A and B are shown apart, each in its own frame.
Chain A
Amino acid sequence: MTVAIKRPSQTQSETVSSSPNGTGGNAIEAERMSVFYGDFCAVRDVDMKVPSNKITAIIGPSGCGKSTVLRCFNRMNDLITSVRIEGEVLFQGQNIYDSEVDPVEVRRRIGMVFQKPNPFPKTIYENVAWGTRINGFRGDMDEMVERALRSAALWDEVKDKLQQSALGLSGGQQQRLCIARAIAVEPEIILMDEPASALDPIATLRIEDLMKELSEKYTIIVVTHNMQQAARISDYTAFFSVDDERTGNLIEFDDTEKIFTNPGQKSTEDYITGRFG
């Protein structure tokens, strides 16, 4: 038995809170969320309210659980059998870890772009069309594919070779194709796990521009190792650190500007200024 997750009302998605920890206009909220791999606690007690239609960056040293937290937001961690999650992740007021919520539905509404471009070994057209088809899309497929590719700023480059294999594209093009594929199923949130880390600086810049454009329509949560990138593109930044037991903790979550100019915590300042990391 699945419970349909309520769509956000129009007013709700347009309201934006000034503070990330304010109320209202939050796309997704983690409440006392802890993640365990077997007995090992990977991330402890994360409280995080991610505002709608903004770019939120997650930064922190290696192994602090950035990606783990990101993957909790669309139940991607379910695919690993040993993972256990405590606490709640509220999406439109519904805990997505409730037993009656189907992860398939969650993942359609909260899309994901991965670190390494992973297009399907199919045509460019089919890469975009597949996700919508399996989800029961009944409209004009050609038009939908074009719209998604235009939104991902890829249309002009691939419009003449839609029936060619997606594996023939460059790394940057493949990653934009993955973004087109993700937005084709019309999610509300897009999770990006270091989407530009495998790309050259020019391709990275194009992805960053694209993310800014997309943030008008979607909520974007991006994990990045690159602090300049976080400073350039994000509206809010969450800083995670790792304690002596190798467990990740959310240290600080605030406006990007505040985090980078006037951090509230000593460890945030150390990490940002390069004294630790």
Chain B
Amino acid sequence: MAIHRQQTLSQPADGLMPSGTAYHEQVAARQRRGRTWAIVFQATMLSGIVALCALLLNILNQSFGYVAIVNTIDPTELAVDGVPLNELPKDNLVEILEANISAGLMRRYENDMPFTERSREDVHDLILERVVEPQVQATWGLFDSIFARGSVFAEAEEQFPGSDVYFRSWLTTSFISKSQSSEPLRAGVRTAIFGSLWVVAITILFSFPIGVGAAIYLEEYAQKERLLNRLIQTNINNLAGVPSIIYGMLGLAIFVRILELFTSGAFLGIGDQSTANGRTIISAGLTLGLLILPLIIINGQEAIRAVPNSLRQAGFGLGATHWQVIWHHVLPSAMPGVLTGTILAVSRAIGETAPLVIVGASTFIALDPSGPFSKFTVLPIQIYQWTSRPQDEFRNLAAAAILVLLILLLSLNASAVLLRNRFDRSRAIA
């Protein structure tokens, strides 16, 4: 609505300020410009959400769907006296195994673990692996499986006659609890999950105390005018932008090569010295720790800087020492901010692949890590390795592993956020 200024109001008569209708139109134009920008910002946010949804849907599409499987021997043929294979007692299963595989292989299994000690499930798995030998012929995505079910079956019938077509979730409990395997149907990510958790634990233990300590020094003690401190500050800011693969080179040179005696565990006489050679969990954890150290320092500094100076002065005014002011007032106030920064940094560390490729994560490893001096693989490496395989079904495995990585990341973040909120709440009261 136009509000026309009354001529009676004292207004400079020089006409430099617009008035009347001209002013009204000018305000309307300014408001229009503002609304245009609001729409632009909304659109950018929407495109971000669309991109995220597309990513998630793509992963879900690959994680579930129909598979066509051809068995070398149909399990129904192995039924004894009408009892199906998966209900047979162990003795029958051992007999079936003995009848279908070579004597040499049978002896090898006996040597690994005597059949009398093996569980029924174990023998059942061996039959599936060696006798039934299911082969994945083709896989279909979730959306094809839901919306084009008919054509999936028709295609399977035409291209892979005699194949079993059934709906399969690639993300199963056995996928999480089984270790790596070259058979896509039996492969799992347990080793990679343990590797990721170990590496992240070492990363946090290394970078959190050092990062927060450095942040306290730079904000509270260092004289900011000094050239040396300005130089350090600038370099920390720059280090936060250095590509992660360069940290991988650094980790390889220092932790894997120079400090091999320590990172291989040889100085304690433990660790897998024959194969690991310093390419161990501790090398990876320290490398990722170096990678996120600048992030933790910068975030920590910002959190400490945000603590109002009046709080420090109140402490000093009562005769507190500098350390008492830091410990009792600055750090508790800054801690939620410090933790937020650490959460973001650690999330980055969990997803890092490139530096660990250089440091020497194993791409195929079936043995769980037993400590900081073990060989290891981590989830991103596992995903990378599976996506580079030519067979389609490994891409389904990779998608399922991505889901596991996302769940792991979200649960770690959620627990850190809970920790931070507890800190916040207890401070509000006490």
Contact = CB atoms under 8 A, between A and B. Distances in A.
B318 A134 contact: yes
Contact of B313 (A79, A105, A126, A131): A79
Given A81-B225, A123-B429, A134-B324, A118 B318 contact: no
Contacts of A271: none
Nearest to B325: A134
Nearest to B427: A121
6 contacts: A105-B319, A107-B319, A126-B430, A131-B318, A134-B319, A185-B318
B324 A76 contact: no
B223 to A, nearest CB: 6
A118 B319 contact: no
Given A114-B310, A118-B311, A121-B427, A130 B318 contact: yes
B333 interface: yes
Contacts of B311: 118, 120-121
A191 to B, nearest CB: 8
Nearest to B225: A81
Interface in A132-183: 134-135, 163-165, 167, 178, 181-182
Of A123, A130, A135, A165, the most chain B CB neighbours within 10 A belong to A130
Interface in B306-336: 308, 310-321, 324, 328-329, 333
Contact size class for B?
20 to 34
B428 interface: yes
Nearest to A121: B427
Nearest to B317: A112
Given A79-B312, A121-B333, A130-B328, A114 B430 contact: no
A163 to B, nearest CB: 8
Interface in B275-326: 308, 310-321, 324
B313 A76 contact: yes
Given A134-B324, A185-B319, A178 B314 contact: yes
Closest 9 pairs (CB-CB, A-B): A108-B319, A131-B318, A118-B310, A112-B317, A118-B314, A107-B319, A134-B324, A134-B320, A104-B321
B228 to A, nearest CB: 15
Contact of A108 (B223, B313, B318): B318
Contacts of B328: 130, 134
Interface string A93-113: 000000000001101110110
Interface string A206-239: 0000000000000000000000000000000000
A221 B430 CA distance: 32
Contacts of A109: 319
Given A76-B313, A131-B320, A135-B318, 13 more contacts: A79-B313, A79-B316, A104-B320, A104-B321, A107-B317, A118-B310, A118-B313, A118-B314, A121-B427, A134-B318, A135-B319, A182-B317, A182-B318
A73 B316 CA distance: 14
A131 B427 contact: no
Contact of A131 (B319, B333, B428): B319
Nearest to B309: A79
A107 B318 contact: yes
A76 B314 CA distance: 10
A116 B310 contact: yes
Contacts of B312: 79
Interface in B325-350: 328-329, 333
B313 A114 contact: yes
Interface string A75-86: 010010110000
A221 to B, nearest CB: 14
A121 B329 CA distance: 8
A111 B427 contact: no
A111 B317 CA distance: 6
Contacts of B428: 121, 165, 167
Nearest to B226: A81
A74 B314 CA distance: 13
B329 A120 contact: yes
Nearest to B318: A131
